Structure 1
Amino acid sequence: MKNRIVLFIAGCCALLLSSCLGSDDTQYELSKDCQILSFSLSNDSIPELKNVVFTIDQVTGHIFNIDSMPYGTKLDEKVICTVKLASTVYTCQVMQEAISDTLSYWNLEDSLDFSKPVKFVNTLWDGQTTKTYIAQVNIHQVLPDSMVWGIYKEGIADGAVKEEKVVVFGEGNDESYYMYTQSVNASEGYQLYRSAVADGKNWTKLTVSGLPVGEIRLSQMTAYEDAFYAVTTKGVLYSSADGQTWSPVENSPVIKALLGTIDVDDDFTAAGKQPSALSAVIDKDGTLVYGYMNEAKVWNEGTLLNEGFPLTGFGNLSYNSMFRARLLVVAGRDKDNKLTNTAWATDDGKVWAKLTDDETAPFDKQEGVAVAEYDDKIFMLSGINEAGKASSDIYLSRDGGVNWSLSDSLVVMPQEFKARGFSSIYVDQDNYMYLFGGKETNSSNVLNQIWRGRINRLGF
């Protein structure tokens, strides 16, 4: 009946236009726009609902909020829906999936149930032209502060592996993971696998030459400026421009430990350019001192080695703090082969400062920890303690490594994760944290897998 009335009114309008215009041959076509032009929701019991911005996709007919409402938001009662329709829309019908499976006429005023998607069907003045919309309220279905982990890739290396180190090298689309492994049979030499950082699941095996078999401190391998660097147990420094062909570095001192790099971002400097550096501990005629190599590949000496400073088994991190690039080393074994639970930092490679307090143990003495900058904090994934037992605890520092606290129940490793030490760690641009390999004990083989985790809100 309503459709007939609409057709009658439309016909009258057409006749009226014709009589008014006389013999004018110009044809006039009424608009067939039946769109929803604006959409909003509100409810006094859910005050944040009125601030939710909805996107109307006129092509697909979907109405939704791009920024999901907080986890735990309950839409357990009807809400006021305010829409603006095109002027030529005659009727608007709704189907509320939560309470009905049929369309019913809506007067644009009655509240609606949005606990499930709602269907809107607009009908034009001609009684035939329609447009359908599906409107829904997106609510985060996971705890935003929880960290979700899972195995990302398994079975990369061929055979059993005794030691492993992953180095990230390159820039932009050429940035790649370089995974170096030493098999259980040390005489087989070192193996190399490469994958684009943007991928991480497809790996290519490459040849390696020039590294002395069984002598490389694989855990201390690093990249500095435009080359890879590695040190042997005899203190000889090796370098490679492509990660495959290696050779000794001429005129380098005897290296007791390769500590890492001070990576300077040109946009992150105070007054003048802070020089980058490859930091190390140097054996100078039996005396251990700090040393560093600059961009010109010239070595310089620093102060005497501090008592209790780690030389093996430490975790390291290059990071920025207070407008300076810094290098942090955490835990590990000192020159007397004793485990430590301290954190040290430098901004030049010459002088190192102990950050942690001797009177307050920030964490257990251990080695093989993995350290990364994540969520505006420094994360330390525990390693292997004095009893030879690995831990899956995660410690956080909000002040650059001075104070540490055990993470809460939302940022933990899952139960199925095997505690391990000596993993390589990397955080990508999408805020995923990757753990490569690792060992359950000092004498066990490397776990041939990659784990990936992310705090939920960093992916929203």
Structure 2
Amino acid sequence: MKSKIFLLITGCFAVLLSSCLGDSGYDSYYEVDKNCQITEFSLSSDSVSGLSDVKFTIDQLNGRIMNLDSMPFGTVIKKVICTVKYGSYVTKLDVVQEATGDTIEWNAEDSLDFSKPVKFITTSYDGMTKRIYHAQVNIHQVVPDSMVWSQYTTAMLPARAVNQKVISFSDGVTDYYYMYVQPSANAAYQLYRSKQSDASNWQEMSLTGLPEGKAVFSQIATFNHLYYVITNDGALYSSNDAANWQIVEGSPKLKALLGSVDESTNQPAVLSVIMEDENGLVFAAMDGNGEWKKGETVPSHFPVEGFSSASIYLMYTNRIILVGGKSANGQLQNASWATMNALDWAEQTDSYGNYFTKRQGTMMAYYDDMFYLIGGIDESGKPQKDIYRSSDYGVTWNYIDTLVVLPAAYQARGFASMLVDKDNYLMIFGGKSTINGQDLNDIWKGRINRLGFERQ
């Protein structure tokens, strides 16, 4: 009896196994479907430069064929030679050209009109299995190297002020803009904050520890995870949250705060300043332990106010680039300077260079792998809105009169804050149209088109 039961169970198992192995309906469908796929796709034309080099991606899951890297703006695609390869089970290939409205059984030789998408329909030998592909040529619809500017808001704050400065701040969770505001001459500073994702809404915050009307926020710098600012009577203040400040005891009398150098394998981190001593103005540096070291004497034509400053990592070292501004004897400058140690500075430009006129209050940022310099107020007190670029880190500057120019509606200005956000926009906050006038109360943003392109 046990033997009969064992044989019965074994037989049932064999039948089930045979049934599973013999049920090849899914496998057969998969094989036919796979062999109905378009496997290779390319276009070429003697009249369209570079078309034969364009790589097309075939999305088998969604039936899409396209070039992920768009062709240049202005490319014109009409009738072109199309080359495809497909599975061995395909016996019929129909094509629907959206540009002409024609549906044809394609011989894989005649040119096709790709000025609009083209639909390919493969049919298997059994006449039942079909695959449909929508093919298109992606072409940039804007000039990639042009910049689109727009006025983000016309009213940052309820009222205009005599001084403003905007910096970036992050609490580790949210990215903010912090704006320091001086409502009127000699008045206490105020602090406002907005999320970087919504710079049109600002909320006032508590600001403590600074003497009224003395902070030179145009020269604020970060160093060793702290914020630093000087006052117009030579004191140095620090803060770990950019809101609550305290004086740095034992610091020398300072004339200017120039920026900071981050630590690298070739150099220590230092805060760069100009200090006053018995011999006049000298460059100086404070290290991470608060120790001070003096450097070279400041040249008479080196700017001490109204300059723009930025840090950059280059050739395994960090350095500070400084442009424009006013020297200690009151003369406007148009040179750029650089340092790697804060103790000695090298003049990058010379009097024979073809670059911007003498000015103060310029806006500078490192953007699109080069330095951008915008506006400022010149020797006659006239505000500017011209744009210069330097691809060699401040050695030469080129005037830009096409593609990235500011629109007519943008009011020329100096002393604005210019920052680059995470979406590759240049953000311009406020600024002055006259040296002693009130700050403008608007925000402008611009981005080079190709920096906003996304892969499809």
Interval of TM-score (by shorter of Structure 1 and Structure 2): 0.7 to 0.9
CA drift at 1:250: 0.8
Query: Against the structure 1 CA distance between its residues 153 and 61, is the aligned structure 2 distance closer, same or farther, given a 3 Å change threshold?
Result: farther
Q: Which amino acid aligns with 2:225?
A: D
Q: Corresponding residue for 1:5? A: none
Q: Corresponding residue for 1:212? A: 211
Q: Corresponding residue for 1:273? A: 266
- Does residue 363 (structure 1) correspond to residue 356 (structure 2)? The answer is yes
**Map of 1:50-449 to 2, 5 A cutoff?**
50-76=52-78, 78-100=79-101, 102-170=102-170, 175-184=175-184, 187=187, 189-196=189-196, 200=199, 203-264=202-263, 266=264, 272-285=265-278, 287-358=280-351, 360=353, 362-449=355-442
2-structure distance, mates of 1:308, 1:92: 76
| Deviation by residue 1:213-240 (Cα, 9 ceiling, x = unmatched) | 2111121112112111111111111111
Q: Corresponding residue for 1:455? A: 448
Q: How many residues align?
A: 427
2-structure distance, mates of 1:105, 1:407: 53
1:383 match: secondary structure: strand
Q: Which amino acid aligns with 1:92?
A: L
Q: Corresponding residue for 2:38? A: 36
* Greater alpha carbon shift after TM alignment, 316-325 vs 412-421: 316-325
CA drift at 1:427: 2.6
2:373 match: secondary structure: strand
TM-score (norm 1): 0.85
1-structure distance, mates of 2:354, 2:95: 63
Q: Which amino acid aligns with 1:354?
A: E
2:52 match: secondary structure: helix
Q: Corresponding residue for 1:21? A: none
2:337 match: secondary structure: strand
Aligned Cα RMSD in Å? 2.5
Query: Against the structure 1 CA distance between its residues 202 and 124, is the aligned structure 2 distance closer, same or farther, given a 3 Å change threshold?
Result: farther
2-structure distance, mates of 1:136, 1:317: 44
2-structure distance, mates of 1:132, 1:321: 51
Q: Which amino acid aligns with 1:141?
A: Q
CA drift at 1:392: 1.0
Q: Give the conservation status (yes or no) of the 8 Å contact 2:355–2:399.
A: no
| Deviation by residue 1:89-122 (Cα, 9 ceiling, x = unmatched) | 343222211111x533222222100011112233
| Deviation by residue 1:25-55 (Cα, 9 ceiling, x = unmatched) | 9455343514322221122333521221111
CA drift at 1:185: 6.7
2-structure distance, mates of 1:257, 1:188: 21
Structure 1 stretches of 4+ with a deviation exceeding 6 A read none
Query: Against the structure 1 CA distance between its residues 127 and 353, is the aligned structure 2 distance closer, same or farther, given a 3 Å change threshold?
Result: same
CA drift at 1:303: 1.8
Q: Corresponding residue for 2:5? A: none
Q: Which amino acid aligns with 1:335?
A: A
| Deviation by residue 1:233-282 (Cα, 9 ceiling, x = unmatched) | 11111111111111111111111111111234x4xxxxx43012111111
Q: Which amino acid aligns with 2:59?
A: D
Determine what percentage of the aligned residue pairs are the same residue.
44
1:306 match: secondary structure: coil
Q: Give the conservation status (yes or no) of the 8 Å contact 2:186–2:214.
A: no
Query: Against the structure 1 CA distance between its residues 153 and 131, is the aligned structure 2 distance closer, same or farther, given a 3 Å change threshold?
Result: farther
Query: Against the structure 1 CA distance between its residues 237 and 82, is the aligned structure 2 distance closer, same or farther, given a 3 Å change threshold?
Result: same
Query: Against the structure 1 CA distance between its residues 225 and 433, is the aligned structure 2 distance closer, same or farther, given a 3 Å change threshold?
Result: same
Q: Which amino acid aligns with 2:108?
A: L
Q: Give the conservation status (yes or no) of the 8 Å contact 1:167–1:222.
A: no
| Deviation by residue 1:136-157 (Cα, 9 ceiling, x = unmatched) | 1011222222222223445333
2-structure distance, mates of 1:145, 1:250: 49
Question: Unaligned stretches of 5+ in structure 1?
Answer: 1-24, 267-271
2-structure distance, mates of 1:359, 1:121: 66
